[in-house]
Structure 1
Amino acid sequence: MSTSPEVFARSGLRLPGDLAMWFFILVELSVFAIFILAFAVTQWLSPELFAQSRAALDSSMGLALTLSLLTSGLFAALAVEQVRVSRPLRAAGLLLAALLTSCVYVVLKLNEYGHLAEAGLGMEHNTFFTLYWLLTGFHFLHVLLGMVILGWMADRCRRGAYTAHEHAGLESGVLYWHMVDMVWVLLFPLVYVLN
């Protein structure tokens, strides 16, 4: 059976978002995979150092960070569904809720960074914290970009720019946000929990 684009179009199946976003996400996930692999291999080589250093982190903070991003991702997914049923104003509200819950992540993460810096646990402290700051900092930058995208999409929904039939841009933005969520779901146990 052929899997040409015409077959997908006739069946109503299509890849959500834009193909360019899928390629961008693939590249970003590849970079994160290299960081995660470096962290895992270094932990395997220095398990005692990583266990001692991890004890300085608060796993309940990591859990709160995870819940804030997952909640934000849920609101973003619900926004796409609202646009698909021609309710762009509800979608705008849901995207604003996603933005607000992502603000919780930012406040908590900045608070954690501040406490670690005050305790002298900066990038130069040891290998664990070098990798911690690089990995979580790189992710943090992705969160900030995602928040800009969420705000921009909320404004476009409010202005009626997305319709039930034309919303690939919205899907692409939400796909990016889900990538940010998914990476954090991998980082949380790796950085905060697993010894």
Structure 2
Amino acid sequence: MQLQAVLPPEARSRAEPAAEPRLTGDLAVWLVIAAELLTFGLLFVSYAFARLREPELFATLQATLDLDRGAFNTVLLISGSAAVAHAVAALDAGRTAGARRWLAAALACGALFSVLKLDELAAKVAAGADLSANTFWMFYLVLSGFHLLHVVAAMVFLAVVWWLAGRGAYGPGRTHVPETAAAFWHMVDLLWIVLFPLLYVLR
């Protein structure tokens, strides 16, 4: 300890052991995330093969989707991810009130996404889209509905963190649960970033 005190700063930094990298959040949730990514990955690959078999059908029905709404939904989820990241940083810095505002902003993004997506799904179903109509509508409904369920689950997770943060559950060095919620939200965001071009953009 005395030797480190007399060392110059650059030598002292070399003498001190480097902090080991760690996986933020709960390991069990990361395993769930890995399983969800694998499930969606298989669905994405299946969609791609189906599209190769019926390119005209997929192109025709893709053209009926609202590209602007899909892009706006993308902005909402990315904004939500940024808000969640700011919330975790604020909790780690002891700024609970600011963290709760960021969490509320993320929840608002998720809620607006859910409303827009439900409205889109309802309109398509009313127009005759269902799981047995054709291959495209089957994949569209399965992928969109499955992803929407994950958005709702992530919102529930964030709402619990928001509520507990108001009761002083988190602070500097005590952000394990918020980091876990953030990891799940970022997974939902990542899935949509793949899903949006796959369903709406690629022709």
TM-score category of the 2 structures, normalised to the smaller one:
over 0.9
1:122 maps to 2:130: yes
Counterpart mapping for 1:1-195 below 5 A = 11=19, 13-195=21-203
Which amino acid is the alignment partner of residue 15 of structure 1?
Answer: L
Which amino acid is the alignment partner of residue 166 of structure 2?
Answer: R
Per-residue deviation, 1:167: 1.0
SS of 2:163's equivalent in the other structure is: helix
Per-residue deviation, 1:39: 0.7
SS of 2:82's equivalent in the other structure is: helix
CA offset digits 1:110-168 (Å, max 9, x no partner): 11012112211222221000011011111011011111111111111111101211111
Partner Cα distance (1:156, 1:12) in 2? 29
Stretches (4+) displaced over 6 A: none
Matched length: 187
Gaps of 5+ in 1: 1-8
Which amino acid is the alignment partner of residue 60 of structure 2?
Answer: Q
Greater mean alpha carbon deviation, residues 113-122 or residues 74-83: 113-122
Q: How well do the aligned residues superpose, as a CA RMSD in angstroms?
A: 1.3
Q: Percent identity?
A: 38
Partner Cα distance (1:193, 1:123) in 2? 21
SS of 1:15's equivalent in the other structure is: coil
Which amino acid is the alignment partner of residue 25 of structure 1?
Answer: I
Gaps of 5+ in 2: 1-16
Per-residue deviation, 1:76: 0.6
Partner Cα distance (2:177, 2:158) in 1? 11
Partner Cα distance (1:118, 1:134) in 2? 16
Partner Cα distance (1:193, 1:147) in 2? 26
Greater mean alpha carbon deviation, residues 82-91 or residues 10-19: 10-19
Q: Structure 2 length as normaliser, TM-score?
A: 0.89
